[in-house]
Amino acid sequence: LSSSLSDVSRQAGVSLSTASRALDPEATHPVNKDTRKRVVEAATRLDYRPNPMAQGLRARRLKTIAVIVHEILDPYFAEIVRGAAAEAAAHGYLTFVCSSQRDPARESSYVDMLRRSRVAAVLFAAGELDDRRARAEIASQVAAIHRYGGAVVALAPRVERWPTEVTDNVGGARLAAEHLIELGHRRIAFIAGPEHVRTSKEREAGYLGAMLEAALEPIIERGDFTMGSGATATARLLQRRSEVTAIAVASDTMAVSVLAELGRRRLRVPEDMSVVGFGDMPGWEYSHPALTTVRIDLAEIGAAGVRRALAQIDGSDRPPRVRVHPVSLVSRESTTSLRAVSRR
């Protein structure tokens, strides 16, 4: 079977502890050069790999991180997971993925499993769910995780005051709105997410800021960040305010179905309606019309979350608690200036 440290120590003719010290990557304890060489050779010969469970049992913490998302199918979260998993792997960590499907019970049960497994870190990629009981449950689980020396990091704005790596939501939405204003649009609607979701609130605030500054009337319709919700929100919006010429959407995920609804109503994008998204989902630049959107480096946020968690664990983390990641606007095919466009 797999060879253990005791096999290596026997082969090298040293004690267990010497073998352990010789193989310690940190090389914290002094070991004779020749001895180390002998041990390393034996280890190589035997294809020795330390057993993470044994290490974990001792260290009271498994070298593993977990990412909690609302929906792994949503490219927004998938991209965060990808970035986090890649960074984690580079540090020798494996990554658990927990997709709650926005179900508080499911989320609680996941966090409970994670706590029991003594994962080194939990990254909350999603905002808190709208459920008091679940939030209290999470809080106590997180306290337990902290007690055994595990780290918890938020990758979205949350009520809890955890270390946070987050997108510049306000700035991004402002960028989107300003882009449309510069193109000459005046009737600019915003399709937001649910009221209680902070990410959505922040993006809404950015939009409102830009609109107020330009002395334009805000027009807000609400989706729920799921794929299909953009379509229904668009339908409501158009019924209510058919004079709108541009729509800023709080997420690319919703923007897809905004585009679809527009297509179904025979409204051409961008000739009849400009649309700007938020997120810049990788791969979607191949769709048509390619979406003008606010670019977030989601993979980097995931990776930063892992680094942050690791820093928390080894005590090297420094303020500020909330780190904001910059965004930028990528202009593609779905927006154009307000000119003599054929209106309904």
Binding site for a second copy (CB under 8 A): 1-2, 49-54, 56-57, 62, 64, 66, 72-73, 75, 78-79, 81-82, 85-86, 89, 92, 94-99, 106, 109-110, 112-118, 144, 147-148, 226-228, 230-231, 256-257, 259-264, 282-290
What's the CA gap between 335 and 333, in Å, rounded? 6
**Binding to DNA by residue 328, rule CB under 7 A?**
no
Partner that binds at residue 82, options DNA, a second copy, none, CB closer than 5 to 8 Å by kind: a second copy
**265 versus 343: smaller Cβ distance to a second copy:** 265
**163 versus 302: smaller Cβ distance to a second copy:** 302
Tokens standing for 31? 């070991």
Partner that binds at residue 89, options a second copy, DNA, none, CB closer than 5 to 8 Å by kind: a second copy
Partner that binds at residue 62, options DNA, a second copy, none, CB closer than 5 to 8 Å by kind: a second copy
End-to-end CA distance of the chain: 74
**11 versus 257: smaller Cβ distance to a second copy:** 257
Tokens standing for 256? 């897809």
**Binding to DNA by residue 14, rule CB under 7 A?**
yes
Tokens standing for 307? 């680094």
What's the CA gap between 276 and 7, in Å, rounded? 61
**Binding to DNA by residue 6, rule CB under 7 A?**
yes
For 47, the 3-state DSSP assignment is coil
15 touches 39 (CB < 8 A): no
For residue 201, report the phi and psi dihedrals to the nearest 5 degrees: -55, -45
Helix (H) or strand (E) holding 154: strand 151-154
- The site string for DNA over 239-268 (x = CB under 7 A, - otherwise) reads ------------------------------
188 touches 216 (CB < 8 A): yes
User: What residues between 18 and 57 interact with DNA by CB under 7 A?
Assistant: 18, 20-21, 23-24, 28-36, 48-51, 54-55, 57
123 touches 65 (CB < 8 A): yes
Residue 77 CA to its chain's centroid (Å): 5
Partner that binds at residue 29, options DNA, a second copy, none, CB closer than 5 to 8 Å by kind: DNA
Partner that binds at residue 174, options DNA, a second copy, none, CB closer than 5 to 8 Å by kind: none
Question: CB-based burial of residue 266 (10 Å sphere; 0-12 exposed, 13-18 middle, 19+ buried)?
Answer: exposed
Contact residues toward DNA (CB under 7 A) are 1-2, 4-6, 14-18, 20-21, 23-24, 28-36, 48-51, 54-55, 57-60
